[in-house]
Chains A and B, each alone.
Chain A
């Protein structure tokens, strides 16, 4: 079945460091890909998405490119801030049209000042 694999956390960085959180997926067909962010005690917020190969999603300085050849959707940011501390989830939508989201295990990011 469809699956999403994220790099293991937790990840701890200093402010202004570069960030990459790896995400790879397995799916039949052509899924849409998402990154969600979860702040402590809250639900999930959509960070960015890409719906087809080579699309680049971007938001709040974060970027991710849909790479079909490597089945990847790595999250990147050039300079992180303390406020970026959260748990990040990579996800794909069920290409079969059932609209279900399949999530990776999540990566906890902590940014130190």
Chain B
């Protein structure tokens, strides 16, 4: 089946630094990927839709300059949290739409970001 690899699975960084999270579709091409944020014991909040070869579409209230998304190829999207602060600590999950599977959405395993 479709597999999405997300890396790293966890990261601890200092305030003010930037962190890059990668999301790769391993066995299918994903023209569209999605980035979610999940707070403890809460649901997933869609942050942005990443489109291969074009700018990402951000949801209302999500800072574009804070959360940089790049989708340079059909198998890779990256989320960079710039100038991270403790309030950015969260669980980030990516998802890719597998057009070969009717309405198939495959999720990565998530990245636990802790900013200290």
Contacts and interface: CB of A to CB of B under 8 A. Distances in A.
Q: Do A and B truly interact?
A: yes
Interface of A: 32, 34, 36, 41-46, 49, 51, 89, 93, 98-106, 108
Interface residues of B, number: 22
Interface of B: 6, 32, 34, 41-44, 46, 49, 93, 95, 97, 102-110, 112
Contact of B103 (A45, A49, A104, A106): A49
A105 B81 CA distance: 25
B109 A103 contact: no
B34 A100 contact: yes
Nearest to B10: A41
A32 B105 CA distance: 12
Given A43-B6, A46-B105, A101 B34 contact: yes
Contacts of B32: 99
Contacts of B42: 105-106
Contact of B102 (A34, A51, A106, A108): A51
28 contacts: A36-B107, A41-B112, A42-B109, A43-B93, A43-B107, A43-B110, A44-B93, A44-B107, A46-B105, A46-B106, A49-B103, A51-B103, A89-B43, A89-B44, A93-B105, A99-B49, A99-B97, A99-B105, A100-B34, A100-B49, A101-B34, A101-B105, A103-B44, A105-B42, A105-B43, A106-B42, A106-B43, A108-B41
Give the top 7 A-B pairs by smallest Cβ distance, nearest first.
A44-B107, A43-B107, A43-B109, A43-B110, A105-B43, A32-B103, A103-B43
A42 B49 CA distance: 21
A42 B106 CA distance: 13
